[in-house]
Amino acid sequence: MVQLSRRQLLFAAGAAAVVSVAGCSDDGDKKDLADNRAGAMDKYGVGDQFKATTALSFSMLYNNHPNYPLKDDWLFWSELKKRTGVTIEPVAVPLSDYEQKRSVLIGAGDAPFIIPKTYHPQEDAYVSSGAILPVSDYLDLMPNFKDKIEKWNLQPEIDSLRQEDGKFYLLPGLHEKPWQDYTLAVRMDILEQLKIPVPQTWDDVYNMLKAMKAAYPNVYPFSDRFGKPNPAGNLLNMLALAYGLQGAGWNFQHTSWDASAKKFVYTGASEQYKAMLDYLHKLVAEGLLDPETFTQTDDQARQKLASGKSFVISTNAQTLVNDYRPDMAKTLPNARMAKIPFPIGPAGPVNPASRLENGIMISTKARDSKNFVAMMQFIDWLWYSDAGQEFAKWGVEGTTYTKDSAGKRTLAADVDVLGLNPKGTKHLQKDFGFYNGIFAYGGRLELVQSFFSAEEMEFQKVLNARPTVAVPPPHPLSDAEREQVTLWETPLKDYVYQNTLKFILGQRALGEWDAYVTELKGKNMASYLDLINKAYDRYQKKHG
Amino acid sequence: MVTIGASTSAPARKQQPGHRPTRGYRVFRVVNAVILTGVVLVTLYPFVTIVARSLSDNAYIVSGKVNLIPRGFNLAAYKAVMADPMFWTSYRNTVVYTAAATAVSLVLTTCYAYVLSKPQLKGRTALVGIAVFTMFFSGGLIPNYILVTSLGLKNTLWAIALPNAISVFNLLVMKAFFESLPVELEEAAAVDGLNTYGILLRIVLPLSKAVLATMFLFYAVSFWNSWFAAFLYMDRMDLFPVTVYLRNLIAGATDATSVGGGLGSASDVVQSAATIQSVTIVLTVLPILAVYPFIQRYFVSGVMLGAVKG
């Protein structure tokens, strides 16, 4: 007889437990959906209208928007029930604190089945808890979703969502074409007065600002807004994208993909980042860019623009129409403000926007529901089919909009949205519940652009002619690695932000760049990169 | 010591009969008045600004021209906010929650504090310890949520009233106050045949109006202003208090534009006019502001009385 020591016994017991746990989690429950088909359609494919065979209801987290607060009597709900036989039970959460409530509900195991409005990589935090379903295992239930990925070549984008296990946990919104909204807005009347063409590149922007400064020596021609959550958030991001980096400013990405070297580099220490800081420093040093750009609030920037103390500012389609033009209407009646095409940088003409959009997480509990298959088909229809997307955005033909023979949609005479039909007495969002940020996003180019003004269409035409920016390859981290990375990220990011401002404002000379990079290394930049690149290699070997 | 001038003020005379205030003291009082006036102005300024904004035209606010005096005076925003049924629903909720939660808190805190004020109580130290323990340690967000949910309190008034019913700070202040009441009074009442409850209700409480008023104020203000419990435990809009309504209005307006990338935010962009925000703030603050002057006279004595005995 072999005498086992207590330690050996413990070890054996532990090993057995690990094996049995692993055995359970090994997608054993994935295959058999026979018990989960109640209410589902037997045959459901692309182009089919989903209709549950019995009346169903699903709980959903609802991000309640102050502009169009949730109403039970919306046409959206009744029409949805009529078409699909599904009732949604919303758990209303104020938009102001949506993320906090979401994490409490998931953490407490009390989450609704459908959890929309999740922006990648927010889902990462929930993966290890097992509370969120790996939706990639169930794509066969979602023909429209699969169809769009294939038709629009979205596979690389989708791969970027994958976790270390090779699965993804978020159903993202899908765009046929990227939609770059943010760019610079410029006083066109000043351009005409000074006989400057509309700038195409960042060098043109520099020359334009210089000419403006020469004509108006007392102003800072460029004074920027969007300073939250960090200074010059949008300006830095636009420049980073134009210089071929992954993102900076309010979209700060620690790593950028170097396609030629096939490895990730640290954004804040790259040569491109240095070049763009050099560019901004030049603007500040020559008095072209208002140094207060980095400290002022959005309102202050708007006031400068409205009072003629600056001519150029960051914009998106909404702020141009809702902020700048009304601001200036009273103070500077002759001013004309317009978007310029996203300026081109050293990376050449690209459309930098992502084709993925915020998306939906599914609670793992839903997998055990007998209506699971029906729910996935329902989600597929509402969020990913052409008919569902048109319904969520435009509403019901004949009631909220009409369609002519060419397929062009027009709002019904009494319905208004985005000020397109100011005479309308009812509001598409407030009174009918359509064009709701939770249900209506993404889709075919024609649908996405269907509410755009002629002017915005012009802008998008220019950008859509540019190639889509390449997506960095997946490099998912394990839980332990993610925890480690989080510890490194905050000090690194703070240090990059700090020094970005110092370099731009001239408090630190760009000659000290090498010293700065060494300081970053002192904050674990090298280990950080090492870990990311290893994760990339590992994923390549396993799934690539 | 030099005493110049004959002018002495009333309170100084009361405190030191026979002495005239020293020069140093008078200098101190001038400095004091100046500093306190400054503090008052600093505190008042944001409020006046908000009121001015609520009465102004939105265009003037956006261009930064509204400061202390309304410009483009109009009441349109007041009409707009008051026309929103959701605002009134939320407002009613706030009133109901505050009234109920304050009542529950007052009763529970009084009972606990009165018991703790009796030195002959066995296990008194342990009971105080239990209360004080919760001042420094809490179960954490998610355990609390699970507790409240599994007790079936979610989406009810009790989710707001019960978890925060006893504020330990208030409890200790009240305990100290009760301890400062003369024991002889209660002994006399006992001799005359009152039982414990009779003593509490007929002797102690009528003598404790100052501390009760103070506690009422503390609790009412904190429940009126609180939003987190309601946000956490309420799943329906028609259950939200006005603070959550207001928070959504303001945070929504600042958030939507700052979401990086801006994709898909077109249908999300909030254009909640600055005036609307100010009006909602004014209407939310007003009632609690109106309560203050009536309770304030109890305020100082209520808190201070307990403090002497600690």
B14-25: per-residue pLDDT in tens?
A: 455 557 778 889
pLDDT higher than 90, residue B7 = no
Interface membership of B268 toward A (CB under 8 Å): yes
CATH topology for A33-174+356-391? D-Maltodextrin-Binding Protein; domain 2 (3.40.190)
Domain boundaries, chain A: 33-174+356-391, 183-339, 395-464, 479-543
Nearest chain A Cα to B268, which residue? A437
CB A249 within 8 A of CB A235: yes
Residue A428: per-residue pLDDT:
93
A131 touches chain B (CB under 8 A): no
Report whether A361 contacts A170 (CB < 8 A). Answer: yes
Q: Which residues in chain A are closer than 8 Å to B267, comparing Cβ atoms?
A: 429, 435-437, 440-441
The predicted model gives B279-308 an average pLDDT of: 74
Residue B305 has pLDDT above 60, yes or no: no
Test A95 with B255 for CB contact under 8 angstroms: yes
Strand partners, A90: A60
pLDDT of residue A482: 87
For chain A, say whether B119 makes contact (Cβ under 8 Å). no
Let me know how long chain B is: 310
Q: In terms of CA atoms, which chain A residue is nearest residue B229?
A: A101
Is the model's pLDDT at A28 over the cut of 80? no
The answer to whether the peptide bond before residue A121 is cis (omega within 30 degrees of 0) is: yes
Cα separation, A314 vs B259, in Å, equals 14
pLDDT of residue A18: 43
DSSP state of A228: S
Average of pLDDT values for A102-120? 93
Substitution target in B141, B235, B275 with the highest count of A β-carbons within 10 Å is: B235
Average pLDDT over all residues of chain B: 82
The percent of residues above 70 in pLDDT, for chain B, comes to 81
Inter-chain CB proximity A69 and B64 less than 8 Å:
no
Interface mutation target, options A96, A103, A179, A246, chain B, most CBs of B under 10 Å: A96
Nearest CB neighbour to B248, from listed A94, A110, A353? A94
CB-CB contact of A439 with A149 (8 Å): no
| Residue at A282: amino acid letter | K
> What is the Cα gyration radius of chain B?
25
Would you say residue A513 has pLDDT above 80? yes
pLDDT of residue B258: 35
pLDDT digits (tens, 9 = 90+) for A520-539: 999 999 999 999 999 999 99
- Prior bond to B163 cis, omega within 30? no
- CB burial of A92-127 (b: ≥16 within 10 Å; e: otherwise) equals bbbbbbbeebbbbbbbbebbbbbbbbbbbebbbebb
Share of chain B above pLDDT 90, in %: 45
Query: What is the tens place of the pLDDT at every residue in A55-75?
Result: 999 999 999 888 788 999 999
| Tokens 């905050």 sit on residue | A490
Give the 3-state secondary structure of B127-179.
HHHHHHHHHHCCCCHHHHHHHHHHCCCCCCCHHHHCCCCCCHHHHHHHHHHHH
What average pLDDT does the segment B174-187 reach? Answer: 90
Residue A120: band (very low, low, confident or very high) from pLDDT cuts 50, 70, 90? confident
Is B210 in the A-facing interface, judged by CB distances under 8 Å?
no
**Is residue A306 less than 8 Å (CB to CB) from chain B?**
yes
Distance (Å, rounded) from C-alpha A310 to C-alpha A300?
Answer: 11
The pLDDT, as a whole number, for residue B263 is 33
Tell me the pLDDT tens digit for each residue of B189-234.
999 999 989 999 999 999 898 889 889 988 999 999 999 999 999 9
CB contact under 8 A, B260 and A110: no
Which chain B residue lies closest to A107 (C-alpha atoms)?
B142
Residue of A nearest to B85 (CA): A69
Instruction: Say yes or no to pLDDT of A379 above 50.
Output: yes
Compare all CA atoms of chain B with the CA of A61 and give the residue at the minimum distance.
Answer: B235
Q: Hey, of B263, B265, B276, which one would you mutate to test binding to chain A, going by the most A CBs within 10 A of its CB?
A: B263
Q: 0.90 cut: is pTM over it?
A: no
Decide if A84 touches B, using CB distance below 8 A: no
CA dihedral A15, A20, A22, A24 (to 10 degrees): -170
**Record: contact B260-A65, CB cut-off 8 A:** no
Nearest-CB residue to B252 (from A96, A327, A331): A96
| Per-residue confidence (pLDDT) for residue A31, from 0 to 100 | 62
Show residues of chain A in contact with B266, CB under 8 Å: 181, 316-318, 418, 451
- pLDDT tens digits for A169-228? 999 999 999 988 899 999 999 999 999 999 999 999 999 999 999 999 999 999 999 887
Place of tokens 């009646």: A333
Residues of A in contact with B237 (CB under 8 A): 64, 69-70, 92
At residue A92, the 3 state secondary structure works out as strand
**Shortest CA gap A497–chain B (Å):** 16
> Of the CATH numbers 3.40.50.970, 3.40.50.1370, 1.20.120.160, 1.10.3720.10, which one belongs to the domain with range B84-175+211-309?
1.10.3720.10
Q: Which of A70, A107, A179 sits opposite B142 (nearest CB)?
A: A107
Segment A449-471 mean pLDDT? 89
Chain mean pLDDT for chain A: 90
Of A32 and B265, the one with more pLDDT: A32
Q: Which residue has the tokens 């008023």?
A: B213
Res A317: pLDDT: 84
A21-25, A288-292, A293-297: least confidently modelled range? A21-25
Give the closest of A104, A298, A299 to B142, CB-based. Answer: A104
**Contact predicate A350/A246, CB 8 Å:** no
Domain boundaries, chain B: 10-74, 84-175+211-309
Give CA–CA dist B278/A331, Å, rounded. Answer: 24
Q: How confident is the model at residue B271 (pLDDT cuts 50, 70, 90)?
A: very low
Query: What is the rounded average pLDDT of the residues A505-527?
Result: 95
Q: Quick check: A328 pLDDT over 60?
A: yes
pLDDT value at residue B79 = 84
Q: From 3.20.10.10, 3.40.50.850, 2.60.40.10, 3.40.190.10, which CATH number describes the A183-339 domain? A: 3.40.190.10
Average pLDDT, integer, range A139-167: 93
Mean pLDDT of B47-56: 88
Interface of B with A in 179-208 (CB under 8 A): none
CA A203, A207, A208, A209 torsion-angle sign = positive
Residues 6+ apart with CB under 8 A from A138: A376
Q: How many CA atoms lie within 13 A of A541 on its CB side?
A: 6
B252 interfacial to chain A (CB closer than 8 Å) = yes
